[in-house]
A and B are shown apart, each in its own frame.
Chain A
């Protein structure tokens, strides 16, 4: 049993199989409150399934997830007000305006003053110009900012992000990362970030969990991982891991 003190998130022997094929295989990790952790891996590595199990949207085949000490299989209602997420798999209703969408989610999350919170977010995330436009009429970048506003509406203590900057131009993506940094500093929130953008992960994360075929291949600080592989960037390390080249083999190659 892993210790629970000060854990925002504790996954123990987390397993998900589909038709006897493991999508996530016996995953165990603990994330301390206030940490920003990158969940990396190639397509099909099990990142989204892991996030879905953390959120309680997918039931694990075995193992458990605890968020702020609450078992997500049986006690998720206790902690859902303290969590939020953004995922490319979920949209906000296109026919509602940005303000209407945020108002509805503000009320669902029990925000005391939804109108005030929307005004704060609109100012911080630069939504004011299109607050009363239909969400479906926005550009990809604007939609991402709105999705982020929805994810921050309840000032979550645990924020789960699945590819938050996918399909964004570099400027907008950089802008979103900047806001995540500000939110983390201000709120002291725990962030779990699934991403394919290694630069983003290096910039935002204190720690990376690299998944391969549903298992944890590495779990350490980005700098330490880069040094161990003798590489210059996390992207190079990611490619080594994805292609099955271990750190030792890579260091032997360098020595030759």
Chain B
């Protein structure tokens, strides 16, 4: 089925039913909510104190302008966004519910859209407290990135979903043996995405590789905005264009891996 046809047949009711299923799951255990809030908060505190310490000892403007905290917050949007997508998918595998879902009228594209919505929801739960802590206690100037924030967010979410689609597809095809991909894939991108240092820091030979990753443009744009107040729309447009390629590749990979799992006959017993 072509993408256009698949989108035309999307059922909002079925997507919302899946979102409802995951909200039931989240609300069933306060520990899940604590887990979602805990890690971004701990990470933010650690890096923010480091920024305070190094910022006092060094005259580097890079550290003074809050780029380290900004980078960590945006990195968490990227990482937690992907984790939120992958966790929603893995919950179905762990609970051996995938067979029920794939046998129901729910279409794979609706399943994917529900995971995207869940990733945004989990991200909001996890990051709003971290953002508040950064603003209140570490004087992170959110107004300085204000104009860029929606652009940063959209681009980072698109990348997170692309990686989520690929890693979920790998679990579909290869089972829970591929689960580590869901947890670790984003860390493979991290050094090249230049979260807390400019691309110019990388050796020359690695710089072209860094520009393959859409988040690299976002982190560069964030630094430009915080350090000089320069809103680099060009970088964000480039990131968006690259993201369209990435999400298309992620969707194609998910579709191909799902077809391959059907061929391998592994879907019904998935989770064992």
Chain A residues near B (Cβ < 8 Å): 16, 18, 23, 48-49, 52, 55-59, 77, 80-81, 83-85, 87, 89-97, 100, 103-105, 107-110, 134, 150
Contacts and interface: CB of A to CB of B under 8 A. Distances in A.
Contacts of B101: 108
Contact of A58 (B21, B100, B267): B267
30 contacts: A16-B265, A23-B265, A52-B267, A56-B262, A58-B262, A58-B267, A58-B268, A59-B262, A87-B99, A89-B269, A90-B97, A90-B98, A90-B99, A90-B103, A91-B95, A91-B271, A93-B21, A94-B95, A96-B24, A96-B28, A100-B24, A104-B18, A104-B20, A107-B14, A107-B16, A107-B20, A108-B17, A108-B18, A108-B105, A109-B104
B17 A107 contact: yes
B103 A110 contact: no
Interface string B241-272: 00000000000000000010011010111011
Contacts of A108: 14, 17-18, 101, 104-106
A104 B103 contact: no
Interface in B1-33: 9, 11, 13-14, 16-18, 20-21, 24-25, 28-29
Contacts of B54: none
Given A95-B25, A107-B13, A134-B28, 11 more contacts: A49-B265, A57-B262, A59-B262, A90-B96, A93-B95, A103-B20, A104-B17, A104-B18, A108-B106, A110-B13, A110-B14
Interface string B88-120: 000100011111111111110000000000000
Contacts of A81: 105
Interface of B: 9, 11, 13-14, 16-18, 20-21, 24-25, 28-29, 91, 95-107, 259, 262-263, 265, 267-269, 271-272
A93 B28 CA distance: 12
If over half of B's interface residues share one DSSP class (helix, strand or loop), that class is named, otherwise mixed; here it is helix
Nearest to A83: B103
B268 A48 contact: yes
A104 B268 contact: no
Contact of B268 (A87, A92, A97, A150): A87
Contacts of B20: 103-104, 107
A109 B105 contact: yes
Nearest to A150: B100
A91 B97 contact: yes
Given A77-B105, A83-B103, A95-B28, A52 B268 contact: yes
Given A16-B265, A91-B97, A108-B105, A96 B25 contact: yes
Contacts of B14: 107-108, 110
Contacts of B267: 52, 57-58
B127 to A, nearest CB: 24
